[in-house]
Amino acid sequence: MFAAARIQRRAFSASARDRPAYQARLLTCDLFSLVQLSKVTVLGAAGGIGQPLSLLLKLNPRVSELALYDIRGGPGVAADISHINTKSTVTGYDPTPTGLSAALKGSDIVLIPAGVPRKPGMTRDDLFNTNASIVRDLAKACAESCPEANILVISNPVNSTVPICAEVFKARGVYNPKRLFGVTTLDVVRASRFASQIKKTDPADENIPVVGGHSGVTIVPLFSQTSHPDLSADAELVHRVQFGGDEVVKAKDGAGSATLSMAMAGARFAESLLRASQGEKGVVEPTFVDSPLYKDQGIEFFSSKVELGPNGVEKILPVGKIDANEQKLLDACMGDLKKNIEKGVAFVAQNPGK
């Protein structure tokens, strides 16, 4: 899949005479030639998140091919972004079944920010009726055209849209739990920024695990596991992390929810996955995945720190030691999370679509 891995394999199997040539190629190839075969697809590429996310992916030298699909405006965004002077190719696709399958064929990573965003007064769950069928149908297209790709779900409610994708893949016999991710990176990004504002630190040095799900009380920051354990008692900060999305929805006053910070968070998660796919060890990101951690409580999906690798999920790390404040948050998370997951599963059972 990736050029460097291919060259390395050839170097191993080459004759003693040819091996030095392959090894020299490995040593001398620049970063782009190392990774030239990574195709990334964005579904919903012309939206508030899709556009800046596509821009950031175009700037990423690990991406060699960028496929942009939307029900409207994909080719226009692609034409614009394609003029940026980085090596990757950019193609926009029309909203036809063949356009969608061509956008997905051969993809290594598919990011899905397609669907409607919140308006003030709405919860993420209020988006379910519209976004569930959008995600179901896009998941079907992925299951048919790129069943082995890593699927990164951004569309809300993430706690339900990820199980929807899983059910669609299962129904087609191609479900690989190691390759399905709910993107919760924005919660981690917010936690580190908000904590750094209080502690007057560089947010780049803050690494705050956030576990659970991606909505309100299901978002559980674990400050006790950082160098500022006292922050777990800061109820205002914890609330700000849990309801950071609402802060943006309110400020945008009907014009949508977080788009720019989300694009950064989505691009960061995709970059982590690319680094791990290309052999970097120890790449860890919290993400919402099919997880063994709370299956005994009937919770099939859970966000915790996950080590990424060439096959997607390499290792799901335990929640670890938490303090009494955080235990209360985790207890409060479980009820909503379970209901959100079950709602997604039930939706596909009752509405399998075409």
Ligand X SMILES: O=C([O-])CC(=O)C(=O)O
Residues of the shown chain interacting with ligand NAI in the complex, contacts defined by CB under 6 A = 43-44, 46-50, 70-72, 113-118, 127, 131, 134, 138, 154-156, 158, 183, 186, 214, 256-259, 262
Question: CA torsion sign, 212 to 214 to 217 to 221?
Answer: positive
- CA 338/CA 144 separation, integer angstroms: 29
Binding site listing for substrate: 118, 124, 156, 190
Buried b or exposed e, range 166-182, using 16+ CB within 10 angstroms = bbbbebeeebbbbbbbb
The answer to whether 214 is a known catalytic residue is yes
The correct pick among 258, 322, 333, 334 for binding ligand X (CB under 6 A) is: 258
Closest CA relative to residue 131, chosen from 150, 148, 149, 153: 153
Tell me which residues in 168-207 interact with ligand X (CB under 6 A). 186
Q: Which among 83, 214, 228, 239 is annotated as catalytic?
A: 214
Nearest residue by C-beta to ligand X?
245
Q: Does 248 bind ligand X (CB under 6 A)?
A: yes
- CA 173/CA 334 separation, integer angstroms: 29
Closer residue to ligand NAI in complex, CB, 54/224: 54
Closer residue to ligand X in complex, CB, 4/53: 53
Shortest distance in whole angstroms from residue 219 CB to ligand NAI = 10
Using an 8 Å Cβ cutoff, are 46 and 76 in contact?
yes
Partner touching 40 among ligand NAI, ligand X, none, CB below 5 to 8 Å by kind: none
Partner touching 48 among ligand X, ligand NAI, none, CB below 5 to 8 Å by kind: ligand NAI
Closer residue to ligand NAI in complex, CB, 46/319: 46
Partner touching 295 among ligand NAI, ligand X, none, CB below 5 to 8 Å by kind: none
Q: Does 249 bind ligand X (CB under 6 A)?
A: yes
- CA 199/CA 195 separation, integer angstroms: 6
DSSP-derived 3-state class of residue 108 = coil
Partner touching 248 among ligand X, ligand NAI, none, CB below 5 to 8 Å by kind: ligand X
Closer residue to ligand NAI in complex, CB, 36/272: 272
Tell me which residues in 71-130 interact with ligand X (CB under 6 A). 117-118, 124
Using an 8 Å Cβ cutoff, are 94 and 309 in contact?
no
DSSP-derived 3-state class of residue 324 = helix
Shortest distance in whole angstroms from residue 141 CB to ligand X = 23
Using an 8 Å Cβ cutoff, are 261 and 186 in contact?
yes
Partner touching 115 among ligand NAI, ligand X, none, CB below 5 to 8 Å by kind: ligand NAI
The angle subtended at Cα 271 by Cα 108 and Cα 203, nearest 5°, is: 160
Residue 184: which residues within 8 A CB-CB, separation 6 or more? 158, 210, 213, 214, 219, 286, 287, 288, 303
Closer residue to ligand X in complex, CB, 41/161: 161
Binding site listing for NAD(+): 44-50, 70, 131, 154-156, 262
Rg (CA), the chain: 20
Partner touching 249 among ligand X, ligand NAI, none, CB below 5 to 8 Å by kind: ligand X
Shortest distance in whole angstroms from residue 350 CB to ligand NAI = 20
What single-letter DSSP state applies at residue 297? G
Closest CA relative to residue 321, chosen from 253, 226, 254, 231: 226
Residue 45 phi, psi (nearest 5): -70, -15
Nearest residue by C-beta to ligand NAI?
47
Shortest distance in whole angstroms from residue 214 CB to ligand X = 6
- CA 92/CA 43 separation, integer angstroms: 11
**Catalytic residue IDs:** 214
List residues near ligand X by CB under 6 A.
117-118, 124, 156, 186, 245, 248-249, 257-258
